[in-house]
Structure 1
Amino acid sequence: MSNLYSTDFNLWIDRTTRLLRERRWHEIDLTHLIEEVENLGKSERREITSQLTRLLLHLLKWQYQPQRRSDSWLDSITDARTQIGLAIEDSPSLKGYLVEQLEESYQRARRQAARQTGIEISTFPDVCPYSPELVLAEDWLPEV
């Protein structure tokens, strides 16, 4: 079955699912199953980090370039909040991960904002000025 994992991943999933349902434990490719379960968690966390960085980037641009505000920025803010909300709804423990990643994501967003706007990076606060609650609040946008 290990060979099936490398040659036809979808077929491996179908077979593994069937074996699990039939409780045929001894036939399961346990090594790859464990790897895939671990990767699911990593993928969810990576998605939270990606969406959080995108959200913070657009919040910074919204705050520091008020003359350039656009519907596309607002759409990006709304979509990132929605995607984060859906992920947390599916896995509430990810909210703690979001809180842990706020500062790291903010630093990425800060660098991206400086590159994209041409604004000196030192203009943006060194530490994230937004609380997790504000970042996720549907009706909140930063002002100048």
Structure 2
Amino acid sequence: MLSAYDQDFHAWATEQAGLVRSGRLTQLDQENVAEELEGLARRDRREIASRLGVLLMHLLKWVYQPKARSNSWKAMIVEQRQSIFKLVEESPSLNSYPEQVLDKEYALARDRAAAETGLSVETFPRWRPFSIEQVLDSEYLPDEPGGERLF
């Protein structure tokens, strides 16, 4: 027989919230509540990593496709930075997480940038050319390779 958790998640979650609010903690479905809370923590880390990857890809595109630059690319860079900032602001314990996953997300962003631009993956530096400070700096847009500062 299926548990309430498996039959109707919404009803189960509402019931669990009611139990917590009324102080009836011994009646909680402790195992599933713990798993859901851990899932919430993973969700925030996944979202930061995902947004960081999109941000890195757009920074690479900004550098390596200067003629294709657009306000939508700039807006995407701004949006990703703001979203990462909000997530970290809401959960300060995640403050160092963007730096922890930066190299992994850069490797993925490099592959995505190649796929999206049609350029060879070898066009993009194997090792990330941006520091975490640059990546998250709301004023930073990278230089062109071998060129002048654009902003």
Q: Identify the TM-score tier after normalising by the shorter chain.
A: over 0.9
Equivalent residue number for residue 37 of structure 2: 37
Equivalent residue number for residue 149 of structure 2: none
Equivalent residue number for residue 143 of structure 1: 143
Equivalent residue number for residue 49 of structure 2: 49
Query: Residue by residue, what CA displacement relative to the aligned partner does 1:36-64 show, whole Å, maximum 9, x if unpaired?
Result: 01100110000001000000000000011
Gaps of 5+ in 2: 145-151
Query: Residue by residue, what CA displacement relative to the aligned partner does 1:93-113 show, whole Å, maximum 9, x if unpaired?
Result: 212111110000000000011
TM-score by length of structure 2 reads: 0.91
> 5 Å matches for 1:1-144?
3-144=3-144
Counterpart code for 1:130? F
How far apart in 2 are the matches of 1:128 and 1:71? 24
- Alpha-carbon offset, residue 78 of structure 1: 0.8
Counterpart code for 1:70? S
Counterpart code for 1:54? V
Counterpart code for 1:115? A
Counterpart code for 1:26? T
How far apart in 2 are the matches of 1:38 and 1:71? 38
RMSD (CA atoms): 1.1
Gaps of 5+ in 1: none
Counterpart code for 1:86? K
- Point out 4+ residue stretches in structure 1 off by more than 6 angstroms: none
TM-score by length of structure 1 reads: 0.95
Counterpart code for 2:19? L
Larger % of helix: which?
1
Q: Secondary structure at the match of 2:128?
A: coil
